[in-house]
Structure 1
Amino acid sequence: METSNTYALPVGVTLDRYIMRRQSDFPFASGELSQLLRDIALAGKIINKEINRAGLIDVTGDYGSSNVQGESQQKLDVIANIRFIRALKNGGECCAIISEEDEEIIYTGNDQAKYVVAMDPLDGSSNIDVNVSIGTIFAIYRRVTPVGSRATLDDFMQGGRKQVAAGYILYGSSTMLVYTTGHGVSGFTYDHSLGEFFLSHTDMRSPVKGSIYSCNEGNYTDYPAGVQAYIERCKERRYSARYIGSLVADFHRNLLKGGIYFYPPTPKAPKGKLRLLYECYPLAMIAEQAGCRASDGYQDILDIEPAGLHQRSPIYIGAKDMVDEMINRL
């Protein structure tokens, strides 16, 4: 039988058809993971619609509460969280979820399902008020607890190498869904008129070398000496400083153009700021599949042993040569 590795699907194929044709790439392929990816795409379409109406309806600004991280929740944070949880529950292929917006595991009631999902429903949501790109990040694991039982912490504490799929949805000048199942990275652009994601970026690969660096230079004096030295070297080389303040948008640009994104430890955030399970792990999986590297400064992100649902980590991610040079300076 012909496998997906022996042919290339053309640009313009719908996400549903692409998933169906590539199903043999999925571990334990039997349809459930395919449907789970479709459920995530559906939620992305709904969020895209909410975001596009943000200036016309009352969904911008603070919600008036904080999430488990102690960060102020935006109205769209709450909306996106609800929409994704609802889509995953109704889809029936996910038994449990962890979200940046919730302290504990969220149970879907589908204990027969074989997968769990870790997600940041809307990263960079404070940028909505100023019409800047934001995104969703997700990671999918095959559960390790028996099917039919209630999911436990063990299902989420498997480590980054055990992800069976990871991806993000970027809501910007166009809406894109980018994902990997460990067989390369594919990107899909949303056609609003047809309500479909279409394959637009095949076998996405990032340049080994880059000339863009992305960080919050407002924290420069708090960065480790090695990071400061790297930034100065970038300036000497006349590299471009590009920082949107929306992780998905910064990562996506560097993935396509060649660059490095970093959020090192600081006195205020000695363990880093970004969350390991639903920000660092999924982006690191995509990065490695696209020829990039992701490190916490000491080891590859995907090799970090998880210790908690909302564990944080420093991150240096992007063009391999740039990340290698950064690590050598730490």
Structure 2
Amino acid sequence: MGESRDAGSDADPPDSVVDAVFDAVAATVPEIRAALPGRRVESGTENASGESVMAGDLYADELLGEAITAVSGVGSFVSEERETAVDAGGAVGDGGDAYAVAIDPLDGSSNLRSNNAMGTVVGIYDAPLPATGRDLVAAGYVLYGPITTMVVADESSVREEVVESDDDGTGVTRTIVDADLTLPAEPTVYGFGGRVPDWPDQFTDYAREVESELKLRYGGAMVGDVNQVLTYGGVFAYPALVDAPDGKLRLQFEANPIAYIVDRAGGAASDGDRDILDVEPGGIHDRVPLYVGNEALIERLEATLAG
């Protein structure tokens, strides 16, 4: 199936801290997945963005927080489920010796109840948070689908791995299935979030064009929908809405990491006006419209929204 690589092996990428963070994420994945069947209910609490939190969100956040903050070289940690950053030791940015890590522990957790795809999103920044996407040194996501995969992007490439528990249950094996993942040149699919009546007129015009050219693939979890675009080519969007002009997705935990991955895979990412990676944040939980996919489709989108 591909090159096999045990978590924690000697096959390190250029940045050992980045490698260690994704080792920690991969090692946590089987436990998160195994715990989901019993955590398909709401926790009775809200996160920092005012959204109802599933029990699975809190469990994944706890496990990932413990694993990532234990990595030497991680100076701070922040999650969609936490109001503020956790100080993990070490100075971040400005000549410091540590990175900041931002995660969405269980993207698409509303899909738990219907047993559809979900994921985990990770961004590793060389700057205190909040930061721009230009401060990312690596990003990735885990997709809990029929199989568990992890996509990791750094300055050199984007790779896709299958993550599996070892037969004896003492660790995980990561098998590289694509060492240089790139966006297909010919787009095939599209997926757009939000209620259609809430779309601005310009975006509706764009959607009508795209739906005549591409196949609809939308599952309600950004990780799953973006993975479709990376696999088949196309465009994913969670647009600005009439009643939510700032969009829904969080810049630090979702939009920046996904934009970084798509950019490294040869695609483009926009907030409708500019590259997502150039958006200056005002706070850790800022929201932003997100449009990612093949460059020509994103250029058409920006031209339509500007018109």
**TM-score of the superposition, structure 2-length normalised?**
0.90
Question: Which of residues 276, 279, 289 is equivalent to 2:264?
Answer: 289
Structure-1 separation of matches of 2:134 and 2:10: 24
* Aligned-partner residue type, residue 230 of structure 1: Y
RMSD after superposition: 2.0
> Which of 20, 27, 37 is the matching residue for 1:42?
27
Q: Structure 1, unaligned stretches of length 5 or more?
A: 1-9, 144-154
Maintained 8 Å contact 2:158/2:265:
yes
Match of 1:209 among 180, 186, 190: 186
Letter in 2 for 1:318: G
Where 2:4 maps in the other structure, the secondary structure is coil
State the SS of the aligned residue for 1:13.
Answer: strand
Q: Does 1:222 align with 2:195?
A: no
Q: Would the alpha carbon gap of residues 92 and 235 (structure 1) be closer, same or farther in structure 2, given more than 3 Å must change?
A: closer
Structure with the higher strand share, 1 or 2: 2
Q: 2:234 aligns with which of 234, 249, 259?
A: 259
SS at match of 2:195: helix
In the alignment, what sits opposite 2:84? 104
TM-score (norm: length of structure 1): 0.84
Gap change, CA 1:158 and 1:59, over 3 Å in 2: closer
How far did residue 113 of structure 1 move? 6.3
The equivalent of 1:67 in structure 2 is 47
Q: 1:189 aligns with which of 162, 165, 168?
A: 162
Identify the residue that residue 279 of structure 1 maps to in structure 2.
Answer: 254
Counterpart selection for 2:13 from 4, 16, 23: 23
- Greater than 3 Å deviation, 4+ residue runs: 19-22, 109-113
Could you tell me whether the CA contact under 8 Å between 1:214 and 1:262 is conserved in 2?
Answer: yes
Structure 1 residues 218-247: Cα deviation after superposition (integer angstroms, max 9, x where no partner): 62222122211112112333x211110000
Q: Which runs of 5+ in 2 are unaligned?
A: none
TM-aligned CA deviation for residue 109 of structure 1: 4.9
Task: Identify the residue that residue 139 of structure 1 maps to in structure 2.
Answer: 123
Larger radius of gyration: 1
Contact 1:209–1:320 (8 Å) recurs in 2: no
Separation of aligned partners in 1, 2:281 and 2:216:
32
Contact 1:208 1:292 in 2 (8 A): no
Deviation at 1:107, TM superposition (A): 2.2
- Deviation, 1:110, is 6.0
User: How many residues are paired up?
Assistant: 297
Q: Aligned to 1:91, what secondary structure does the other structure show? A: coil
Question: Could you tell me which of 77, 93, 105 is aligned with 2:57?
Answer: 77
Contact 2:17 2:71 (C-alpha < 8 Å) held by counterparts: no
